[in-house]
Structure 1
Amino acid sequence: MSLSLWRTIGIIATCTLAMVANRSSNSAVLISLPTMEEDLNIPVAALDWVVAAYPLSNGCLLLLFGRLADLYGRKLVFLLGSAWLLAFNLGCSFAQDPDTLDIMRGFQGLGGAATIPACLGILAHSFPPGTGIILGGLLTELTPQSWRSPFYLGSGITALAMVGAIFSFERDQPSKEVDRRVDWIGASLVTSGLVLIVFVLGQGEVAPEQWATPYIIALLIVGVILVLTFIVWQYHLERVQNATYQNKPYPSPHSRFLSLSQLVLRWLPSPPPIMKMSLWTRAHGRVAVVFCVAFLNWCCFQGWTYWVILYYQNYVGYSPLRTTVRMIPMFVTGLLCNAFVALFVGYVPMTILVACGTALTGCSALLFAVINPNAAYWAYGFPYAIIAVVGADFVFACGTMYVAKNCLPHEQSVGGAVFQTMTQIGTALGVTVSTVVYDRVLASRAADHGITISSSTGSDEPQWLTLPAYKAAHWSCFAFGMMCVRPDNHLPACRRYWPSRYALADIGRRH
């Protein structure tokens, strides 16, 4: 049954608002960081925790909420997630200290984790990443609530998305899966593991002995073990399900782990896996390559965004409004990129779109890494603002399209959740790694010149001392960007897995 014009417009508008709310939860906070730093006395090494708290909870629970959306209804999960996001958006706006803000940001991410997989399951849609920066910067500068206003903005957008979903989304249809159990063991393993890993990434630089702190090392090891256990558990559950449907014995009598498998089957439930490991090997491994490209591209793009804003406001001394004006080209480029993908994806191979986009995003970090602060904005600032967002838009649009094409109807939300998980973890890793680089270069230069760093933000130090640290942070972002331009250039084993021109172009035409 075809949708009416108004319902179609409503679905598109609602998904757009949901994506804007999710984007602004990250990018609007970035533009407000220097103001938060001054108002709440947050050290620069802890600023990345304000940024990482949202993708931590968001990325760690996307898989679970994607599975729940596929099972119990995407509209229901979207509405519940939006209500949660609205509540904690308001909670962030009333925070009076860094710890409260970090906790609220963490809970805020749960709402995004529920709404985004539901949206991707309903509609493969993207929105310009620069929008949140523009709106957040204007509100931060022009309203008396300072950095709190972007959270009010997010609350309003989320409320509008809820209204749109109520009237435009189709009624949820019951899942056609025979086995509708939820893999709570797998959900617990992956959530706990990712929380510990991202926590370590956020706290390793501010721990008492930094990365040598015993609890940092211990938590990292435990987190990695939990994620590896999750992978083995998902592989086991998928084999159980396949054997059940094919009426084959499991475990095989010739299995090396026969006794262990029988013990697990006896004492533990065997629901469908929350994420089939075969998803990563579909299309001869091309889906896995797309996930890796999304991860690396977000490491570069979000790290770049984080340090550009701090550079403008802490180093140059610009107000949030003047910083926002310099980021406007991102918004314009984002609109053009999405229009370009929509119009020409059936004619231009997605491989070319993704490769060109990631290369341009990496080059934006390169321009900043060699920037001359005395040069005019048009020499460095304008070009890198123009090209930075290209990779994020092309990778998101093409990547979600390709993943959706290789997912079964009842896996659409889970497939989108895996893609989003990779981007959120990439955000946390990119910001963390670049922060480590910044801190190390700043400390090294200060020691060479016999200077004691008086401010943990670096904002009180001489510009000649902090400029190399800013540049070094962007060299790390550039490295991430170049790694994802074409994985098979440096990983020959991936060469046969990269999506071919004809396969991707065919997918574009079908969509």
Structure 2
Amino acid sequence: MLVNVRVSLLLFSPSSALLYTSLLTRRSQSSNGTSVAIALPTIGASLHAKAAALQWLVSAYSLSSGCLLLFCGHLADVHGRKRVFVAGSALLAVFTLGCGFVHDEVTLAVLRGLQGIGGAATIPAALGILAHEFPPSSGRARAAAFSSFSAGAPIGGALGMVFGGLVTQLSRYTWRAQFWLSAAIAFAVLVLGIIPKGPDTLPPPRDTRTDWPGAVLSAAGLILLVFVLGQGSGPDILSLLVLSIVLLCIFVLWEFHLETRNRFVASALAYAPPPLLPPSLFARRRGRLGFIYAVALLQFGAFMIWAFWVQLYYQVYIGYSPVRTVIRLVPMFVTGMICNVVVALIVGRVPTLWLIVTGTLTTTVAPLLFALIVPSAPYWAFGFPAAVCSVVGADFLFAAGTIFVADSVAPHEQSVGGGIFQTMTQLGTSFGVTASTIVFNHVQTHWGPRPDALGSYQAAMWTGVGFGGVGTSFALSGSGFF
């Protein structure tokens, strides 16, 4: 009883106002993604956009956010988490509003990418705020806080999908109205982020310089890599692929140099700031932290493959309206909230590996069911169990994983550590959707001009099974670390 009272006092203390703004922005981020996804067929018809362009409306946000999370996490740790949070919220609100006024898919994709900059700033700053407000000594309150933050995804996702579907179908402005609704939420988050007073309480870093070469190399390499995967073919694809790999390799070598001050690589170099991504971070806790990062990439790739293609399957192949599609996906959000409650109750008592393996196995079932789906079968045979299983892995991994990361890094590394975790999830999203789109398009060419061939959707779902299966293998093979 005494423990519950302490948890309640900490969770509802006045000093936690900025914390709850962080939780709201998690809901806003998730809502922004799902509301766009549910409107993809309507956007495609309105702007006369092809499937590849629609894929970029989802990937552009994840790509820009994933490429800048490290850099923004560094800025939050060094210059103040509240400052970065407010700046990111402002960018997100402005560019979300702009999305509702465009008239071509290219401009919309560009603005979606600019939205990702705001997301890249707010999420690691919010995780840093969480880690500071709820230190390891807070015990169950810490687990409850991080689980609440994770629960923002299913709650925000549900609200985004429901209201996005309703607004898209019932408003005279169709898909534009849901962008304006998301912008209103983003402006509300901005206002709430400004209201709490008081300075950021951060441990003073020994060196506040920014690793600009590392930021440029990592962002350029990742952007080129995902662009190549998205294009699939073309005269310059191979050269761009080689260039992206070279840039990423140089980034890794540069980070090793900065962390170790390698005597063999210009040790007297005047410009030697702290590394943007310390390579030793992946070896923390006897390598378990690197293992969590790797599984996060694969797991979120599997989940987003299912989430992306299931909506197109219902609306394009079956012909359901956005509202009817939303109704069939509601169980996934209920399951997501239940998963986060379960994690809050059992984290620290159950080995992390058990949660991860259970989650990856369960989530892999969702794309497997749709890879084997029979369209004439009732919803309860394939659609319902897939919706229930789809989010278990993502929610188990996010809730338990963010706590594990926060416990594994130093106080002045909280936003960077959380930023790396978010980078893995965002890149998993981008890689997963891109890879499945390539598979979808390849299979579709064997079905002639028909855009609704069942085999194409099933092939895309098999890609999700592959991501989930590899992630599960990683989890099982990592048992020696736990």
State TM-score, norm by structure 1. Answer: 0.85
Q: Report if aligned partners of 1:56, 1:109 keep a CA contact under 8 Å in 2.
A: yes
- The root-mean-square deviation of aligned C-alpha atoms, in Å, is 1.8
Give CA deviations for 1:86-138 in whole Å, capped at 9, x if unaligned.
00000111111011101101111100000000011111421233423233222
Give CA deviations for 1:370-394 in whole Å, capped at 9, x if unaligned.
1111111111111111110111111
Q: Which residue of 1 aligns with 2:117?
A: 110
Q: Which residue of 1 aligns with 2:173?
A: 145
Q: Which secondary structure does the structure 1 equivalent of 2:236 belong to?
A: helix
Q: Which residue of 1 aligns with 2:260?
A: 239
Structure 1 residues 484 and 174: alpha-carbon distance in aligned structure 2, compared to 1, 3 A threshold: closer
Structure 2 counterpart of 1:133, from 161, 168, 190: 161
Greater C-alpha Rg:
1
Give CA deviations for 1:205-232 in whole Å, capped at 9, x if unaligned.
xxxxx2xx23221111111111111111
Q: Which residue of 2 aligns with 1:305?
A: 307
Distance in 2 between the 1:440 and 1:329 partners? Answer: 31
Instruction: Specify the code of the residue in structure 2 equivalent to 1:380.
Output: F
Q: Report if aligned partners of 1:134, 1:327 keep a CA contact under 8 Å in 2.
A: no
Structure 1 residues 3 and 360: alpha-carbon distance in aligned structure 2, compared to 1, 3 A threshold: closer
Structure 1 residues 184 and 294: alpha-carbon distance in aligned structure 2, compared to 1, 3 A threshold: same
Instruction: Specify the code of the residue in structure 2 equivalent to 1:332.
Output: V
Structure 2 counterpart of 1:425, from 405, 427, 430: 427
Structure 1 residues 16 and 314: alpha-carbon distance in aligned structure 2, compared to 1, 3 A threshold: same
Q: Which residue of 1 aligns with 2:12?
A: 5
2:400 counterpart of 1:413: no
Distance in 2 between the 1:318 and 1:58 partners? Answer: 31
Distance in 2 between the 1:156 and 1:17 partners? Answer: 13
Q: After the TM superposition, which residues 416-455 of structure 1 pair with which residues of structure 2 at under 5 Å, given as runs?
A: 416-446=418-448, 453=449
Q: Which residue of 2 aligns with 1:218?
A: 239
Distance in 2 between the 1:164 and 1:415 partners? Answer: 25
Distance in 2 between the 1:15 and 1:97 partners? Answer: 33
Structure 2 counterpart of 1:38, from 42, 45, 65: 45
Q: Which residue of 1 aligns with 2:61?
A: 54
2:196 counterpart of 1:189: no
Give CA deviations for 1:342-364 in whole Å, capped at 9, x if unaligned.
12213332211111111111001
Instruction: Specify the code of the residue in structure 1 equivalent to 2:200.
Output: D
Distance in 1 between the 2:324 and 2:251 partners? Answer: 46
Distance in 1 between the 2:426 and 2:102 partners? Answer: 24
Shift of 1:175: 4.8
Q: Which residue of 2 aligns with 1:261?
A: 266
Q: Which residue of 2 aligns with 1:353?
A: 355
Distance in 1 between the 2:187 and 2:348 partners? Answer: 35
Instruction: Specify the code of the residue in structure 1 equivalent to 2:338.
Output: L
Q: Which residue of 1 aligns with 2:134?
A: none
- Equivalenced residues, count: 453
Distance in 1 between the 2:475 and 2:177 partners? Answer: 44
Q: Report if aligned partners of 1:202, 1:428 keep a CA contact under 8 Å in 2.
A: no
Distance in 2 between the 1:4 and 1:337 partners? Answer: 20
Shift of 1:285: 1.0
Q: Report if aligned partners of 2:353, 2:475 keep a CA contact under 8 Å in 1.
A: no
Distance in 2 between the 1:382 and 1:9 partners? Answer: 38
Q: Which residue of 1 aligns with 2:462?
A: 475
5+ residue gaps, structure 1, are: 205-209, 241-249, 252-257, 447-452, 460-465, 501-511
Distance in 2 between the 1:482 and 1:3 partners? Answer: 40
Shift of 1:27: 1.9
Q: Which residue of 2 aligns with 1:404?
A: 406
Q: Report if aligned partners of 2:336, 2:391 keep a CA contact under 8 Å in 1.
A: yes
Q: Which residue of 1 aligns with 2:249?
A: 228
Instruction: Specify the code of the residue in structure 1 equivalent to 2:121.
Output: A
Shift of 1:167: 2.9
Q: Which secondary structure does the structure 2 equivalent of 1:128 belong to?
A: helix
Shift of 1:174: 5.7
Shift of 1:341: 0.8
Instruction: Specify the code of the residue in structure 2 equivalent to 1:18.
Output: T
Give CA deviations for 1:51-88 in whole Å, capped at 9, x if unaligned.
11101111001000000000000000000000000000
Q: Which residue of 2 aligns with 1:155?
A: 183
2:26 counterpart of 1:19: yes
Instruction: Specify the code of the residue in structure 1 equivalent to 2:300.
Output: W
Instruction: Specify the code of the residue in structure 2 equivalent to 1:172.
Output: D
Structure 1 residues 90 and 488: alpha-carbon distance in aligned structure 2, compared to 1, 3 A threshold: closer
Shift of 1:170: 4.6
- Identical-residue share of aligned pairs (%): 46
Q: After the TM superposition, which residues 283-362 of structure 1 pair with which residues of structure 2 at under 5 Å, given as runs?
A: 283-362=285-364
Distance in 2 between the 1:217 and 1:151 partners? Answer: 36
2:76 counterpart of 1:69: yes
Distance in 1 between the 2:27 and 2:469 partners? Answer: 28
Give CA deviations for 1:127-163 in whole Å, capped at 9, x if unaligned.
2334232332222223222112222222122222222
Instruction: Specify the code of the residue in structure 2 equivalent to 1:161.
Output: V
State TM-score, norm by structure 2. Answer: 0.90
For structure 1, which segment, 166-175 or 430-439, has the greater mean C-alpha deviation from structure 2 after superposition?
166-175
For structure 1, which segment, 291-300 or 4-13, has the greater mean C-alpha deviation from structure 2 after superposition?
4-13
Shift of 1:15: 1.7
Distance in 2 between the 1:356 and 1:36 partners? Answer: 37
2:126 counterpart of 1:122: no
5+ residue gaps, structure 2, are: 1-8, 131-145
Distance in 2 between the 1:128 and 1:85 partners? Answer: 17
Q: Report if aligned partners of 2:353, 2:479 keep a CA contact under 8 Å in 1.
A: no
Q: Which secondary structure does the structure 1 equivalent of 2:376 belong to?
A: coil
